[in-house]
Structure 1
Amino acid sequence: MESKSTDSKLWREICNIWPEFYKHVSWEIGCGDRARFWLDKWAPGLESIWHEVVDTDWIPDPTAKISRFVDPFGQWDKERMIDLIPQHIINKILCIFPPNPSLGSDQAVWDPGRNGQFSISNAYNVIVNTVQRHPSGMWKVLWKSKFQQRNKFILWRLGHDRLPTRSRLASWSPTNPSCLWCSRSRETNMHALRDCPKIAAVWRLFLNPRDRALFFNLSAKDWIGWNLQRNKKFASIPWPSIFSAACGLFWHWRNKKLYESDFQFPWEAHRVILIQARLQEEAWRPWEEERISCSGLAKTWRKPMVGWIKVNSDGAVCRSSRRAACGGLIRDNFGNWIKGYAVNLGHASVLSAELWGIVHGLSITWDLGFRKVEIESDSSHAINLIQSPWDVSSNFHPLQQKIACLLSRNWEVKATQISRSANECADTIAKNSLASSTGLTILDVPPCTVASVMMRDLIIYSSRDSGG
């Protein structure tokens, strides 16, 4: 990307930041029409092929697309690489599936993002070098907690020392920094929600005497984390709910006092807090019961309907070698084995492995003549992708075009996400495939390690339902 002096300031700034931004973009290879063989990051473990070449002057076209390095038989054209690229790099390339015209366009992937998805906030964090690969456990617990969003926001601001207390406002205005309740100390963030004598007296009613010293001496972030992760109950109410309700009410009462001079601190503040916390718990309970009920349905494998067959698919990637594989099995409405498949993919991403498992499962099922098919995977991202409408102009995964073509055939296909425990047979096949030779292997009989899991699936299912 280049800019001229006559271009807008915005475009010039984008061009300036582009090289740094593009370092975090890699490519999922489809038909090889977009990614550049030499300059782009598409081979796992390599920044680019260009950086591995000893003498780049011999490269005739640095911007050549990957599709130009495939021979007429659809395999990598080693003759075009052998004089320019070191042999160990060629070996890595040969472990990757070559571009295939039946796949969609190459897809740009944002490396720091979850599942390769780009977001403005994530990009900003990368650019200012504040990426946190392992976010603070306290913040994770806070945002996943089941209480009111406004209370989460209050605690988040408290953790960053950003509540607009009188002490904070006094640093840039003539505001009186004294506490509204005790009038003796500066109203800092922690004073307003914990250390003020009036507030502290309420906290003591909830605390075991042996916990008080720790409670009143922790720093703000440690204090929030300790309370949110405290596995205790008071009056049958989880402590995190009481803690969040108390902080929310203390801040609410403080603001009431600020704007209504005749407002009085509640006489039995601890009872008001308990009522608020109990209401909060009761509001969450129906959702929690529904979530538990729904998640329980997917914990075991279920037989397909009469006249249907079921494909279970999974992908696996070895963290150390980065080699990927996929596998799956096809069963009838009695739970009997029909076929299985194991595929060593060479180098591929986790999502690609999951999608390749679905592609092979659908292709084999079609070739076997089945026209009513249920396909299951434990990857929510893969299931969401194949259920999304495919558009050639969008930045979809290259395998989505292949899957869309398979689904458009004259048959009925239902795709469903299941839990990992219900997908154990496919998971076992996929992991075993990591040690096999590259390519597709059709399994006419179940491997011993899978047969025992299949039997267990049937026993568990029979105890729940007679099935089929």
Structure 2
Amino acid sequence: MNRALISKVGWRLLNNVDSLWARVLRSKYKVGEIQDRAWLTPKGTWSSTWRSICVGLREVISGGVSWVPGDGQQTRFWLDSWLIPEPLLGWASGQVPQGEQGKVLADYWIEGAATVHASDLHYHASNSESSLPPRFQTAHLENRDSETIPSDSRRFRFRFRFRSEKRSSTGDSMLPSSFRSQFYIVRSAYALLSQEETPLPSMDRFFDRIWRVMAPERVRYFLWLVGHQAIMSNVERVRRHLGDTAVCQVCKGADESIIHILRDCPAMEGIWRRLVPPRERQYFFAKSIMEWLFDNLGSRKEQGSEDWPTLFSVAVWWSWKWRCMNVFGESGKCRDRVRFLKDMAAEVTNAHALARGNQGGQPRVERIISWKRPREGWVKLSTDGASRGNPGPAAAGGVVRGEDGTWLGGFALRIGICSAPLAELWGVYYGLLIAWEKGYRRVELEVDSELVVGFLRSGVSDAHPLAFLVRMCHGFISRDWLVRVTHVYREANRLADGLANYAFTLQLGILSFDYCPDVVHSIMLADINGTAVPRFIRL
């Protein structure tokens, strides 16, 4: 990345020739043309800044420049990239004389005809015209010896004509040919430098294992630091010139690297040998730190009743903590560190199991769910709302049915953009409005959103963003009629759900139905016939 950044300074040096800083550097270091790389040869008198600029010029710019001809005095016909993305010398059918190779475009200028002529070039037939830059157009394309040369590598004689007359006042200009833009972009320079390097392996799976391990948050964060090689060992302190010695202060027998602290130091090696089965010790102690972490955080070895990734994580964390306590003279007494680690791992495992139980980890049971008919003298109002995105495009639907399940009225509402609870409340509001206008005074209202049912039963504060619509629904419910609000599962609310989905195909606004629409007629018949759907629910 540093080379990509500094190469942009070199690019400005070659193009902004009138700038004061560019004139100073050009005069001091005898800057020449980019085609002549002799002035880029390092010298002992160069400053560190100029050395860095020349690195960018040599490694990025000199190999990735194309030319746009003007007067043709700078662009070399055979050796520069100006017509195609590479020099024409590689496409010559024969040996180009040494004296010809250094000629510029102006040397091939035919006075009076305003053409540049070169013969005997190999070029792919299908690309011969499409690859020409906008400044040129093909004036003549003659196929020679096509019967003796393969069709994919024929010899052609090219004659190119400038679209404008030759103007000596307009010089040739450079473009970054290897980039995807006509401007010099650092990102493109970096891509050019790194295109031949071996890509770095993805670390997503490695860090995914770290954050999924069953361990306290501070332990996972410590493992993340270890994965980034960000632990301040003595080796790292010496590298940063913060210490004088890299020797481990605990064992005094080796350099204190991260893997030495966590595994190879005798203070921890004995503990690991008691935790790891004998048949696995050889591989356990032979791996590099990244392999060591990745394999042990993902495996499922059982050591007694503890889960191995949890036990391993806790042991790694305490190995660092014990090391810090020893270095800073705060070593505590622990009769059996192995038993201590196992107890800590068991405590973590039990805590996670208890947390899962409190979050509703109890087993589910299967129940058969179906729509139930209203009681005698009552009608049932089923409403539903949907939002694709939450917030996103939203719609609502509802239906009023009698004691035998017959259709008494319904609606489909295309709302616009809103959240799912707001769509549910709009469905309730318009459902109550239709039921009231049709004269029904005993209504069972069924909604499949527990949140909305809670709003309708207990209300919300005035500061709640949905308070206005909840109050409107309460205004209907408090009228001179009986409305019972009930929560049902979605499987018992399929008809209202179908109307809400159908509303997505309509224009904005509400559409009421005196008869059941064909798109949901099959659902209504299934409800009347008592069709049930299984669902797993918590007791």
Using the size of structure 2 for normalisation, the TM-score is 0.43
- Whose strand proportion is higher, 1 or 2? 2
Q: Which has the larger radius of gyration?
A: 2
Q: Which has the higher contact order (CA 8 A, sep 6+)?
A: 1
Using the size of structure 1 for normalisation, the TM-score is 0.48
